[in-house]
Chain A
Amino acid sequence: MTIDLAIIGAGPAGMAAAIEAADLGLSVAVIDENPAPGGQVFRGVERAGGDPALGADYAEGLALARAFRAAPIAWHPATTLWHLDPEEGYLSLDGAPDLSARRVLLATGAQERPVPILGWTLPGVMTAGAAQILLKTAGVVPAGRTVLAGQGPLLPLLAAQYRRAGAPPALILETTPRGRRRAALAALAAGGLWAGRHLLWKGLGLLAETRAIPRRRGVTGLRAEGRNRVERVVWEGGSAACDTLLLHEGVIPATHIPMALGLEMSWDAAQRCWRPVTDAYGASSHPNVAVAGDGAGIGGWEAAVAAGHLAALDAAQRLGRLSAEERDRRARPWLALRRRALALRPFLDALYAPAPASIPDATIACRCEEVTAGQVRAAARLGATGPNQMKAYLRCGMGPCQGRLCGPTVAALIAEARGTTEAAVGLYRPRAPYKPITVGTLARL
């Protein structure tokens, strides 16, 4: 049996798309690697949606998850897409029987931008997003001295959530370069202030709530030190004892599946990342595939909800259930919601752009294969012109994560060593299986 729409990912975009598509009479299946809907932003929301420590924004995901559960869709949790044939609409799955679908929506969201510093592979160093997932899914908080380092809206949010949960961090190290605020405020003055006021207000509230936590601004030269786990965080001009170091430099679209499919991609200079090229409805360069939510460019959960509805309306139109006029009419409120949700984005992009810093040679770039920045630079000077060639030189990007974590770093190092740009260097071309699978799964083919 061939269904109308297969949705990969049950975060805000995937859930919203599923609800809208089912409402339009499409047969819908949704798969997600996780055991429950929510994505990362609403991870565990059905368990912890009412937790005052996590806040009102997080609780908004509860209504979405409930509507998703109530919608007439086939829901396949704990299921991994390991191959997609977009021509045939054939999805090879691990955890559920394979699917055939007329249209596929990738709602695979974002991942945290890698933060390659010396010592970032030490036990006790993890991402701020990882720590927040522990809090959301299991009520787990760090014990001992916790240091938050980096920049982006997640850091003050997590600091506030930890404070409410009775586990405030000992120190916040902000890597936003000095003088950035002025440029960002100029971006804000150019537009977006009024439309984005509710988001700005929330951000200011979080900053006020975490004012009592010691903080260093304009931090550079960050590194983690310790023998078999992190014991100390060091920066230019200072250091502090540390049991848990939580790193964050913003989020970037998860490009693994779009890149593997060969979808047309573009370099987003403002967000310093790659994103699939999509139209206003999320349609990609492949006629059967759409991308919605943060996976098509970072916009946050409200923009993702709007994008999910828009992608579902477009799917219905393409499958002959809606006229183009009716699709466009129904799209209007979602386009307006997305514009509002994105109003503050130029300000955030300008404020939290990663600081241009040279990565020390001894830093591990590829965590899986333990390849250092210095090795990548040397290979680039020897003649490895791009990330795919670098695999042959050094095996970076060929470990179990398949380059998810080192891709942006390796590309930036090649660009630096060869005097060109990340846009010109490109990214790894991943191959199926998108995630490692067992021989047993292959044998079922």
Chain B
Amino acid sequence: MFALRPEVPATVEVFVDGAPVRVPEGASAAAAVLLAGAAAIRETPISGAPRLPYCMMGACFDCLAEIDGVANRQACLVPAAPGMRIARQRGARVAFEA
């Protein structure tokens, strides 16, 4: 659970799983997901466990998300931009469905 300090203006509107959230200039897509209060940014490919950003510095890859339609982006390294669509990444890619 995260919040913005009251004196920081939130001027950039992005969409986290379709819901609008306003974030400050300089915030990353990962920060937007945390500010949106999302329960998870991805579900792991192995067990489907929910994850949120962990290291915020490009090392852990727990913030992998689908950003503007491109999967597996490190959300902590992508600056939030007006209208950006950040979507939860669910499990492993299914190559073949029987």
> A and B: partners?
yes
Query: Footprint of B on A, CB under 8 Å?
Result: 33-36, 40, 44, 47, 53, 78, 111-112, 121, 123-127, 129-131, 133-134, 137-144, 165-167, 228-229, 243-244, 254, 367-370, 399-401, 404-405, 435-436, 438
B3 and A133 within 8 A (CB): no
A370-B57 in contact (CB<8A): no
Which residues on B sit within 8 Å (CB–CB) of A369?
A: 46
Q: A126, B39: Cβ atoms under 8 Å?
A: no
B22 CB, nearest partner CB in chain A, Å = 11
Cα(A362)–Cα(B51), bound, Å? 18
Contact with A along B22-42 (1 / 0, CB 8 A): 011111100100110001100
Complex Cα distance A36/B26, Å? 9
Contact A121 B51, beta carbon cutoff 8 Å: yes
Q: Is the CB of B52 within 8 A of A126?
A: yes
A-B contact pairs, 24 of them (CB 8 A): A47-B26, A53-B5, A78-B79, A121-B51, A123-B52, A130-B55, A134-B31, A137-B28, A138-B28, A139-B5, A142-B2, A143-B3, A167-B3, A167-B5, A254-B59, A367-B54, A367-B60, A370-B46, A370-B47, A400-B64, A400-B72, A404-B59, A435-B58, A435-B74
Roughly how many angstroms separate A401 CA and B55 CA in the complex, as a whole number? Answer: 11
A443 to chain B, nearest CB (A): 15
Which residues of A are found within 8 Å of B26, using beta-carbon distances? 36, 44, 47, 137-138
- A35: chain B residues at CB < 8 Å are 79
- With most chain A CB atoms within 10 A of its CB, the pick from B25, B59, B70 is B59
B1 part of interface (Cβ distance < 8 Å):
yes
Chain A positions within 8 Å of B77 at CB level: 33-34, 78
Contacts of A140 in B (CB 8 A): 2-5, 27, 31, 34-35
With A127-B54, A130-B53, A405-B60: A141-B3 Cβ-Cβ less than 8 Å: yes
Q: How far is the CA of A243 from the CA of B52 in the complex (A)?
A: 13
Residues of B within 8 A of A254 (CB): 59
The answer to whether A138 and B53 have CB atoms under 8 Å apart is: no
Contact of B52 among A124, A165, A438 (CB under 8 A): A124
A112 contacts which chain B residues (CB < 8 A)? Answer: 55, 59
A130 close to B54 (CB less than 8 A): yes
- Distance, CA A370 to CA B24, complexed state (A): 34
Question: For B64, what are the chain A residues with a Cβ–Cβ distance below 8 Å?
Answer: 400
A401 adjacent to B50 (CB under 8 Å): no
The answer for the CA separation of A95 and B61 in the assembled complex, in Å, is 18
CB closest chain-B residue, reference A111: B59
Instruction: Report the minimal beta-carbon distance from B5 to chain A, rounded to whole angstroms.
Output: 4
Chain B residues with Cβ under 8 A from A126's Cβ?
Answer: 52-56
Partner of A129, one of B39, B47, B50, B56: B56
Contact A138 B56 (CB under 8 A): no
Known: A35-B79, A138-B26. A143 touches B2 (CB 8 A): yes
Contacts of B60 in A (CB 8 A): 367, 401, 404-405
> What residues of chain B lie closer than 8 Å to A436, measured between beta carbons?
72
Q: Is the interface of A mostly helix, strand, loop or mixed?
A: loop
- Check: B8 CB closer than 8 A to any chain A CB: yes
Partner of B49, one of A121, A141, A167: A121
| A302 and B41 alpha carbons, distance in the complex (Å) | 36
Q: Note all chain B residues with C-beta closer than 8 A to A167.
A: 3, 5
Residue of B nearest to A366 (CB): B46
Contact of B59 among A142, A144, A401 (CB under 8 A): A401
In whole angstroms, what is the CA distance A133 to B40 when docked? 19
Q: Name the residue of chain B whose CB is nearest to the CB of A256.
A: B59
In the assembled complex, which residues on chain B have CB atoms less than 8 Å from the CB atom of A370?
44, 46-47, 49
Tell me whether A138 and B57 are in contact (CB under 8 A): no
B62 within 8 A of A: yes
New A-B contacts (10) at CB < 8 Å, excluding given A137-B27, A370-B47, A404-B60: A47-B26, A53-B5, A111-B59, A130-B55, A139-B5, A141-B3, A244-B1, A367-B54, A405-B55, A435-B58
Chain A hits for B35, CB < 8 A: 138, 140
Indicate if the CB atoms of B23 and A399 lie closer than 8 Å.
no
B61 CB → nearest A CB, Å: 4
With the chains together, A112 CA to B58 CA distance in Å?
11
- Within the assembled complex, what's the spacing in Å between the Cα atoms of A332 and B47? 55
Separation in Å of the B24 CB from the closest CB of chain A?
5
In the assembled complex, the Cα of A243 lies from the Cα of B46 at a distance in Å of: 26
B29 to chain A, nearest CB (A): 11
In chain B, residues 63-88, which have Cβ atoms closer than 8 Å to a Cβ of chain A?
A: 64, 70, 72, 74, 76-77, 79
Q: Which residue of A lies closest to B80 (CB)?
A: A138
A190 to chain B, nearest CB (A): 34
A144 vs B57: C-alpha distance in the bound complex, in angstroms?
A: 24
Q: How far is the CA of A445 from the CA of B64 in the complex (A)?
A: 25
Contact B31 A138 (CB under 8 A): yes
Chain B residue nearest in CB terms to A254: B59
